[in-house]
Structure 1
Amino acid sequence: MTETVSLLVSAAQGPAECRLFARFVCQTLLREAAQAGLSAEYADQTPCRHGILSAVLTVRGTGAARAAQNWTGSWQWVCRSPLRLQHPRKNWFVGVSLLPEAVLPDTAGEVRFHTCRASGNGGQHVNKTDSAVRAVHTPTGVAVKVQNRRSQHANKQQAKRLLADKLAHLRRHAQQQADRHTHRQRHQLERGNPVRVCYGNPFTAK
């Protein structure tokens, strides 16, 4: 079964050396994905002078999720800085994390209408006719009820408009939640227990 995963490669708040390493990590992921028979490409990236601040890679193919498990975590580069020769630090870190898929309500699909007796104020017409309409979007279960129009047809049209507005709101909310998670991931980096350690310049993975 074809799978699709999104990987975030981030130097977090790391210095230029981490950004240099982040570019190498992206290149490594693209190469290893191709070797595994997977399709991988940049979905987004924030380049900088020395490398990449962060990037999102989309990986597709059978076994993409399993491959991603081997890549996610912190990557460590052990090397004296090639950019600041007198700098004492020699450990640099980059994070690779799996981005959650935004669960967006499907705006397509069937809408079921149920008629019912209108309730509340409105005179004899409202109380004695089945002009009220409840519309249910079957893929998501989202529902609205409209009874303020005098005809069933008018209530159906209004219900469809309200349902579309409600689904659009839910999609925006889901996307905002996913965007906030991605933003947090860009600034978080666990430096312990790296999943991959690279040495020297040029990079050599061990």
Structure 2
Amino acid sequence: MGEGDFWDDQERAAKVSAEHARQAQRLAEYRSLSEDVSDLGELAAMAREEERAGSLTEEFTQEITDGLARAEERLFVLEESRLFGGDHDAGDAVVTIQSGEGGTDAQDWAEMLLRMYLRWAEDRGFTATVQDRQDGQEAGIKSATFTLEGSNAYGLMSAERGVHRLVRLSPFDSANRRQTSFAAVQVAPLVTDEAGVEIDDKDIRVDTYRASGAGGQHVNKTDSAVRITHLPTGVVVQCQNERSQTQNRATAMNMLRSRLVELELQRREEEAARERGESMTIGFGSQIRSYVIHPYSMVKDLRTG
């Protein structure tokens, strides 16, 4: 970064600067944790002396116990961050959930997954924003797309990419029979216009329409929602979350850039899968994880057994 021509290549400079900032933050967290652990060691030594003197208090013991718990939690986060060495792992993500085989049950299952990820994001301290949602006719959703912003958001969510299977007694079946439902989760790195992904205007078609669902009079009475079709690939993205058409278009363009990056990553994965003789559909035999509620309760990740 100290080279005189470092900023001549803006794209390379941005990547190096971002990586430098991530590593500097990780180093600062490590040093802070190391200091706290050293302090805990001194407190533990004092506690042993007080115990021998018969003056050790419950409050002092609890202080050390709480400090150890906080240190273990911070250590887990640091160790977890070591797993994310991919180009996009440290960045934000675009997540799309789509219902598959199973009719209304599958649409309900897709909405359950959406709620699950949004709650997880909240607990994690991430910012999750639903950019598009297509409701099912009876219940649930046909599809939904949300952005996820936070440290290692893409690295964490990329493990969810694939088909998810639910087995339960159907609440939509009058005979209350067992139903198997499927939903697919797509995860792409959130790419902005500064990331160097070029999209020619002649390669896209932009349509506007009235946003559906809650949002007030402005949202429902103006053509603020935006749908962008990338003609060479057939990729379609939609955004209706923002109040203005301009904002929705900007967000949709970033979503399109993200999908194009995902397509390239997917192409590489599919080539590797073909070499292994594998394929994926949103149906039986292709799930990465099964959630069984009936006749027994079990969550099983089929990638790890």
| Structure 1 vs Structure 2 CA RMSD | 3.8
Give the C-alpha shift of residue 90 in structure 1: 2.4
* Percent identity of equivalent pairs: 18
Task: Please identify, of 51-60 and 28-37, the stretch whose mean Cα deviation from structure 2 is larger.
Answer: 28-37
Structure 2, unaligned runs of 5 or more: 1-21, 23-89, 207-227, 238-262, 264-280, 300-305
Structure with more of its chain in strand, by fraction:
1
* Cα separation, 2, equivalents of 1:68 and 1:53: 20
- TM value normalised by structure 2: 0.39
Q: Matched residue pairs, number? A: 145
1:60 is displaced (CA, Å) by 1.0
Identify if the C-alpha distance between structure 1 residues 52 and 167 changes in structure 2 by more than 3 Å, giving closer, same or farther.
closer
CA deviations on 1:133-183 (whole Å, 9 max, x unpaired) are xxxxxx79x9xxxxxxxxxxxxxxxxxxxxxxx953356699515872358
Bigger share in helix: 2
**CA–CA separation in structure 1 for the residues paired with 2:230 and 2:157:** 24
In structure 2, relative to structure 1, the CA distance for the partners of 1:15 and 1:57 (3 Å cut) is: same
Matched with 1:82 is: 171
Output the amino acid matched with 1:84: D
Cα-to-partner distance string for 1:71-125 (whole Å, 9 max, x where unaligned): 211111111211113375521111101247678699xxxxxxxxxxxxxxxxxxx
Q: CA separation in 1, counterparts of 2:147 and 2:107?
A: 20
**Corresponding position: 1:52 with 2:141:** yes
Which one has a bigger Cα radius of gyration?
Answer: 1
Q: Given the alignment of the two structures, is residue 200 of structure 1 paired with residue 233 of structure 2, yes or no?
A: no
Pair 1:79–1:64, CA change in 2 (3 A): same
Does the alignment pair 1:23 with 2:101? no
Distance 1:169 1:101 in 2: 23
Displacement of 1:57 in angstroms is 1.3
* 1:189 maps to which of 273, 282, 288: 282
Is the Cα–Cα contact under 8 Å of residues 203 and 230 in structure 2 kept in the other structure? no
* Residues 21, 77 of structure 1: 8 Å contact kept: yes
Q: 1:41: how far off?
A: 1.8
User: Any idea what SS the aligned residue of 1:75 has?
Assistant: strand
Q: Higher relative CO (CA 8 A, sep ≥ 6), structure 1 or 2?
A: 1
- Asked if residue 169 in structure 1 is aligned to residue 169 in structure 2, the reply is no
**What code does the residue aligned with 1:91 have?**
T
Q: What is the alpha-carbon distance in structure 1 between the residues aligned to residue 180 and residue 101 of structure 2?
A: 14
Contact 1:70–1:195 (CA<8 Å) still a contact in 2?
Answer: no
Work out the CA distance in 2 between the residues paired with 1:76 and 1:105. Answer: 37
Separation in 1, partners of 2:171, 2:162: 24
Which residue of 147, 164, 183 maps to 1:94? Answer: 183
- 1:177–1:64 distance in 2 versus 1, CA, 3 Å: farther
CA contact (8 A) 1:73 1:190 kept: no
Bigger Cα displacement from structure 2, 16-25 vs 92-101: 92-101
**8 Å CA contact retained: 1:77, 1:91:** yes
CA spacing shift, 1:100–1:190, aligned 2, 3 Å: farther
Question: Is there any run of 5+ residues in structure 1 with no aligned partner, and where?
Answer: 107-138, 143-165
Residues 9 and 41 (structure 1), Cα distance of their counterparts in 2 relative to 1, 3 Å cut: same
User: Structure 1 residue 39: deviation in Å?
Assistant: 1.2
